[in-house]
Amino acid sequence: MEYLNWSSEDKVATITLDRPPANALSSGLLRELSSVLDEIESNSEIRVIVIHGHGRFFSAGADIKEFTTVQSSGDFASLGKFGQDLFDRMEKFPKPIIAAIHGAALGGGLELAMACHIRYVTENAKLGLPELQLGLIPGFAGTQRLPKYIGAARAAEMMFTSEPITGLQAVQFGLANSAYPEAEILEQAYQLAKKIAKKSPVAIKAAIELLNYGKTKEFYEGTAREAQLFGEVFASEDAKEGISAFIEKREPNFKGA
């Protein structure tokens, strides 16, 4: 694996995002994550997964520089659909997935975390969907999952302002389960994973299936429309300006085109 590492012990698999400096979610990293999930799903000795990021961040978002290589709105919509399908698989995965979030989970990083069944955060972590700052929109089902966790009004504020919330606020709003000091976050996630690993895998799998009955037809209609608009917005002049401004480390000048 080039962009992540994984190991298992005591029936718990640990997946570590390892793509310096910010664990950006490139298409290569997402493909590797899909491959690791294949291995873990077929391994009966593994019952729970913990995902975390190496270095300063959980994941600071999608790989913006990779966006400049995408040639068309259709290709961009396909990229969004690929991420949506992977994260939908995670949400339905028959083994519980715990995200241990430190530093920042932004954009695609937060969308990845929201696809996990449980989220532990550090108290000062930053969680947000800042895509509108770049003239883009979330494309990995973030527009559909975030309101489900924190309500439409708070989700609108987070997306429209591009401003993140803290780990403590994430717990308060219902986006995360618990917040801990950074020195404790992984150990707390492991302790929870070990507790869950003692439960019946048959019962756990059934519980995960039943939890997903809360996802309605409208959710999937929403994600399909999100992928389409993800591509259409990418083709706009505002998106080109936003991506250029991000790479050049300056404020974007959006003109509504």
Task: DSSP letter for 135, please.
Answer: T
Does residue 131 carry a catalytic annotation? Answer: yes
Spatial neighbors of 24 by CB under 8 A, at least 6 apart, are: 59, 60, 61, 62, 63, 64, 108
- How many other CB atoms sit within 10 Å of the CB of residue 92? 14
Residues 150 and 127: beta-carbon distance below 8 Å: no
Q: Are strands 126-128 and 165-166 parallel, antiparallel or unpaired?
A: antiparallel
Which contiguous run of DSSP H or E holds residue 180?
A: strand 178-180
Q: Which of 41, 131, 182, 237 is catalytic?
A: 131
Distance CA 170, CA 39 (A): 31
Partners of residue 14 on adjacent β-strands: 7, 50
Partners of residue 179 on adjacent β-strands: 121
Spatial neighbors of 204 by CB under 8 A, at least 6 apart, are: 47, 94, 95, 96, 196
Residues 159 and 153: beta-carbon distance below 8 Å: no
Which contiguous run of DSSP H or E holds residue 120?
A: strand 118-122
Q: Which of 9, 66, 111, 157 is catalytic?
A: 111
Does residue 41 carry a catalytic annotation? Answer: no
Residues marked active site are found at 111, 131
